[in-house]
Each structure stands twice: as C-alpha cells, then as structure tokens.
Structure 1
Amino acid sequence: MPSATPGFELPLRLFLAFRVLIDELHAELGRQGHPDLRPMHGFVMQAIGPQGTTAVDLGRVLGVSKQAAGKTIETLERIGYVERTRDPADTRRKIVRLTPFGVDALDRSARIFDTLRARWADELGADRLAALEADLRKVTPGSLWRLDAPGWFGTL
C-alpha cells in the first residue's frame, strides 16, 4: 500500500532535523564564547584533525578546490581557530593545525551534541531515539566521518 506521505518529505525532514541540531549547537557555541563559528567550519575543523593537514589534502577531503580550502583556512586563521606552521618533514609545505581555541570549540561541540541528544531522548523517548538511530545506521554508510559535504553542496 502506498504511503500517504510524499517521498520527497523524507530527505527534507532528515535535513530539517540536521538543521535544528546544528542551529541549536551554534547558538550554544555562541553563548559559550564561539560566536563566529559557522556550520561549515565544523566540517573543516574535523577534516583538519588533531595532526593537522595541508590545504591540498583538506580540499581533497572536503571535496573542494585547494583555493576554496585556502579561503576557509584564512577565515579560520583570522578568527583564531587554526594556524599555519611549517611541516618539520618538508619545510616547503605548510601544515594547518587547530589552535587551542579550535580544540576548545570541538570539545564544547561534542558536549553540546550530547546535551542535544539527551533532549531528543526526553522528547521522543530513549527507546524511540535509539530505534531511530539504529534504523538510520541500517540505511546509511558505516563511516560517520564523510566530510565532503562542502564539495557536495557545491561551495564552501
């Protein structure tokens, strides 16, 4: 029997749920001292990771050009979340690393996401939220760390 809900509603509802969580995250990050962070910055900082990366590798992971990655690095550098340093193994290369302020933002984000998840568990019921998460695991790839959304959306 066909569903009364049109098929296009599912991706829109999933996207809206993502948007609600990200908007609430950024509102709280702003209150906690990180008002300049934007949603795309989280993807970028996750892609930079604890060891740092180059602009070329960052662009590849994000699915954007080196130039687009470079512009985002400049923005994050200007607002204090990343720094560029020389690669000790090859002094011609620059490595982009998170600053302590950048690490703080990611640490706070993780705690805020835990709080938001707990709020959803209260709203939906812990069992229903766990079932939703289990169902989403069944229909999505196993890796959580696909960070190419900037390139997939077409721009940074």
Structure 2
Amino acid sequence: MRLILVILAAIWTLPAAALDLNAPFTNIDGGTLKLSDWAGQPVLVVNTASRCGFTDQYEGLQALYDRYQSRGLIVLAVPSGDFRQELASNEEVKDFCTLTYGIDLPMTGITSVRGAHAHPFYVSVAKDVGFTPAWNFNKILIAPDGTVAATFGSTVRPLSSILTDEIEPLLN
C-alpha cells in the first residue's frame, strides 16, 4: 500500500509539460527566430491571416506593439493558412502587411498552428494548457518566465482592456 501511495504522489507532483520556446520559426524576413530569443519578456503570439474578417486587427497589434515595446512586450504575428484565409507566399504576406498596415512587428513565415502539421510551440501549448487556435487572430500571452499567462479568442481586440489588463503587470 505504501508503494502505491509513493507512486501516486510522484505522478501527482510531475511538472506540467514545458512549452517549446526553442523550436525555430521561419522569420518572414529570412532566417529563423525562436520565442526563447525573448526570454524574460512577455510575448503575445497571434496566429494571423490576410484575408479574414479579423485582419483589421493587424492595426491594433501594431499599435499595441508600439505602445508597450519600450517596456519589453513583443508581439509576434504567425501567419497561418490553416483556415484557408492566408495569401500564397511569405512575400505576399509581408508586402500586404507592410503596405496595408505598416507592420514592423516580428512575423514568422506561414506556419501551421493546429492539426498534424502544427508548429511544435502550438503543440506544446495544446498539451500544457489545452489551447488550440479555433480561428485566426487567437492570442497566446507568454509571461516572462516562459509560461502561458492567458489565451484569447479572435473577438478580443488587441487594445481591449481584457488583453491589456493581462499584459501590463508583465511589463518592465
């Protein structure tokens, strides 16, 4: 009986699955980037699409980045074709975002965020907190310690108090 209790105690105290912050993303500007590059900073990771009803959130994402970048916030746009609303190439996405919204926040190349081909970061978020993007412009807030601080659906606007109230305590 004692052995069973020891085994059960060990199982219950296992740490949660760690987020994969080291898996490289293709950088839309060339090369790669990793979430671990911003260790110690809050990072808002947003799966985006250029042809979505929520695409105008790019404007708010850029404004959020501009507002809080000097205090440590990184906003990472992750274009995804998983919902069939993204342009065909990284170059088209970059041109669209730059010309239409003046985006200069970090962006990955087109990346799968769900399903069998999901990027390892998204797989680890699903395992760690049970969150998988249900649509474009879902948001994952990573705390400076590398844990998931909060997740948000598409309807949460980038400058809404629902989101900024979660971000502000994490800033420098």
TM-score range, shorter chain: 0.3 to 0.5
Structure (1 or 2) with the larger CA radius of gyration: 1
TM-score between both structures, scaled by the size of structure 2: 0.33
More helix by share: 1
